[in-house]
A and B are shown apart, each in its own frame.
Chain A
Amino acid sequence: MSTDSSPAASAVHELILPAEAAWLATVADFLCSCCAGWQIDEDAQFEIQLAVDEAATNVITHAYAGQPGRIHLRCWVADGDFHIELIDQGRTFDPETVPPPDLTGPLDTRREGGLGMHFMRQMMDEIDFVFSPTGNRLHMIKRGVAS
């Protein structure tokens, strides 16, 4: 759970928005402000943005599957690590069953899609899904990026 009560932790910044793709740019702005405040460099910011954008897109596309809903974002810094949680009330799934994408075949055998989870795993150091009656919670950590 959030470690914002530890002495080395920052304040938690939160954003709650409709689960609609048009809001992804607002999420990016929010992350950008948060990261700048924590002196997170531009490369790490880009990687965080990519992971969060993919995660939010999956909530919109798969968890809510076009139905109206909300995405709750919470992010903070603790001991130099960037943490973010995405919380939704959509359907659950089993992340273990998502196959890794084919990254080497010729173009005509490549799937269109199936890259989002791969991007999240590559961009972040830790990814943890918790599904509970209060909602689905994805916790991602990027280590050693904040000062």
Chain B
Amino acid sequence: MSSLEQMYQQVIMDHAKQAHGKGLVDLNLIQVGESHQVNTTCGDEIRLRVGLEDDRVESVTWEGQGCSISQASVSVLHELVEGTTLSEAEATMEAFRDLMQAKGEALDDDREDLLGDATAFVGVGKYPARIKCAMLGWMAFKDAMIQARKDEA
């Protein structure tokens, strides 16, 4: 498998074509956070909304346009974290960041398990310029979580 094929694995191509969680959903929750992120290299934008309830990430939806990496990444993000506990979501987020910094190497089994489909992004780690693309949705998620928790107080 060439590096290019490793980057554009079928899972990624599929998520890019058929993105999950796309379309912002109105939330009738107390803790709602939203974030708007721009990839300044190409002008791609993502707006992502999270709703928290008790200890859980109830809802993760988004809208925006971008390259297949950024679209697939936010689609996978939706799949992975919607419905998890806050601490699971944090652990997943951290594992994904580590994967991006692993320069194309796989992570240990525990964290691979956490990442599920997202392990397909391993090839992106070899391309520093594309890490930004893969992280765009996750940055938005991280920021939206902070916003949502602000409402707590």
Q: Do A and B come from one complex?
A: no
**B residues adjacent to A (C-beta < 8 A):** none
